[in-house]
Amino acid sequence: MKKPVFRGAATALITPFKDGKVDYESFARLIDFQINGGIDALVVCGTTGEPSTLNDQEHMDVMEFCIKHTAGRVPVLCGTGSNDTEYAVSLSKRACEIGADALLMVTPYYNKTTQRGLVKHFYKVADNVDKPIIVYNVPSRTGLCIKPETYAELAKHPNISGIKEAGGDMSAIAHTMALCGDQINLYSGNDDQIVPVMSLGGQGVISVLSHLIPKQVHDICELYDKGQTKESLKLQLKYHELISALFCEVNPIPVKAAMQIMGYCNGELRLPLYEIEEKNYEKLKSIMKELNII
């Protein structure tokens, strides 16, 4: 059995900006809020962190800041995926050098590839690093979906530890786990599917929701682990409307608005992402009030 990088909830962190630059003061407060709230791990430069608009130096600086500020309190996973395999290798090596505990690697996007190409791509990176890799499947963004049989091939590599599954197809996830067994660690990539994914052998979630409520998302996972499945499901469903509101527009637009409401950033985004529509902002704020988050 492959040792999981973490079990429970990891927050896929936003990257706070101020006047076009990374706001490290706000980033530090956000990291501390997450850890003090009981989060199990942190993900930096994942989709929610807007890595597509970070230049190369910013990407490295943001990862390094998160690692140093976290200071070993929880594992830090660094997003180092690319649609250029050689660049993914280079970025992954540098992330390992600065102390990443693990790597989160999205499938190649835009140019995409075949299923055979996916195996070659991830194996090439895994052959060149000494930290565990969590493969990230998010076909709604990449236009490419990893098939269960491909996961089975990826699971054979000792450095490919897990998968963040955001495809939403529970039948495919079940097929994947039937093929891979304990040779892969499964994480939900969708906040509305934490309990269903854990019921198929998942280790937890890489979450957006946990920005607002790290303890509660941790508790959803912990309760399930303890066999308190009804209580876990009840908590999952309690936040269903909030989860929907956090994805009413393209992530991370709504969650940055939510964190602005909570005082952890100013909500600034980088184009082409643009500020949340007023009606969606008001609905999000109203739900947060109803749940006593603010």
List active site positions.
136, 164
Residues facing residue 11 across a β-bridge = 42, 207
Contact of 94 with 64, CB cutoff 8 Å = no
Q: Nearest-CA neighbor of 106 among 142, 143, 57, 140?
A: 142
Three-state DSSP at 139 gives helix
Instruction: Tell me the two tokens of residue 39.
Output: 């989060």
292 neighbors 88 (Cβ within 8 angstroms)? no
**Which whole-number Å values give the CA distances from 119 to 16, 79, 219, in the listed order?**
34, 18, 35
Element (H, E) at 176: helix 170-180
Q: Which residues pair with 205 in a beta bridge?
A: 9, 188
The pair of three-digit structure tokens given for residue 87, joined into one six-digit string = 């660049």
Burial of 127 (0-12, 13-18, 19+ CB in 10 A): exposed
272 preceded by cis ω (within 30°)? yes
Q: How far is CA 161 from CA 126, 130, 191, in A?
A: 10, 12, 21
Half-sphere exposure of 259 (CA within 13 A, CB side): 30
